[in-house]
Amino acid sequence: MFERGVPNGLEFLWRWAHVLVGIVWIGLLYYFNFVQVPAFAELDAGARNQATDKLASRALWWFRWAAVATLVTGILILLAQRDGGGGSLLFASDYWRTYAGISISTGILLALTMFANVWLVIWPNQKKVIANARNVLAGGEADPAAAAAGRKALMASRQNAIFSFTMLFFMVGTSHFFTSWGLIGEASGGERALYWAITIVLLLVLECNALGLLGGTGTGGPRVIYDNHKNAIITGLVLVVVWYVVWILAFGAP
């Protein structure tokens, strides 16, 4: 049976840093989705280009590098944490079969997907939007591809906001829920297989939708969840409930 080692000061330091930079990353994610995008929609083109140049570009710098810092400090936490034999938790295979390990793995999987969206979808497309805004402000012609790039970035960003609710549920749940639920020890192979099969399918369907692989990037249809911030918030909350039901189906009710 897996046994945790005694917490140490280095683990606390990295956990504090992880929370700090995570607040910056997720805080800016919510700012973009719940504040900036709705506000920009009410601005005229000139004001929107000015704001994109001076405001959005700065916010995106903090946003993408906070994502990197969150990933790095998360890895450092796992390296600093110890199992009962004094080894790093990151390489303790028994831990990842426990309920706590499965929970934190779910949070990690969602966070890694969000990180990939930041660097492979959101930022590359936002660079085109920023370049277009600066070109227009300098007197150049608007890039006809900028609107499509903005839509791709928006869909990935809204999906990240949706994922974040469940990601935080499992990140917090790992440390606080399992003792009270009585879910101590390892899950069976069948339980793990059922849980991960449903989890991966659910994740892939949502991510493919965000990437426009399920019918394109237009509004409506399965992309209605991205069409405004209220839809994204509702979807994020519903997804927490759905994932909780998946957990109950696989491992039983607390």
Predicted confidence band of residue 181 (pLDDT cuts 50, 70, 90): low
Interval 100-146: pLDDT, tens? 889 999 999 999 999 999 999 999 999 999 999 999 999 999 999 99
| Residue range 5-30: mean pLDDT, rounded | 89
The C-alpha atoms of residue 152 and residue 212 are separated, in whole angstroms, by: 8
The C-alpha atoms of residue 68 and residue 219 are separated, in whole angstroms, by: 31
Reported as half-sphere exposure (CB side, CA atoms, 13 A), residue 165 has a value of 17
Q: Which residues of 176-192 are buried (b: 16+ CB within 10 A; e: fewer)?
A: ebbeeeebeebbeeebb
Question: What's at 11, amino acid-wise?
Answer: E
- Top pLDDT among 8 and 70 is at 70
What is residue 183's predicted lDDT score, i.e. its pLDDT?
Answer: 60
The C-alpha atoms of residue 250 and residue 237 are separated, in whole angstroms, by: 20
The pLDDT mean for the chain works out to 92
The C-alpha atoms of residue 192 and residue 106 are separated, in whole angstroms, by: 12
The C-alpha atoms of residue 147 and residue 143 are separated, in whole angstroms, by: 8
The C-alpha atoms of residue 232 and residue 131 are separated, in whole angstroms, by: 27
- Top pLDDT among 184 and 32 is at 32
Residue spans per domain, the chain:
9-251
Contact partners, residue 158, CB within 8 Å, separation at least 6: 33, 210, 225, 226, 229, 232
| Residue range 216-224: mean pLDDT, rounded | 95
Quick one: DSSP state of residue 105? H
What is residue 147's predicted lDDT score, i.e. its pLDDT?
Answer: 96
The answer, yes or no, to whether residue 243 has pLDDT greater than 90, is yes
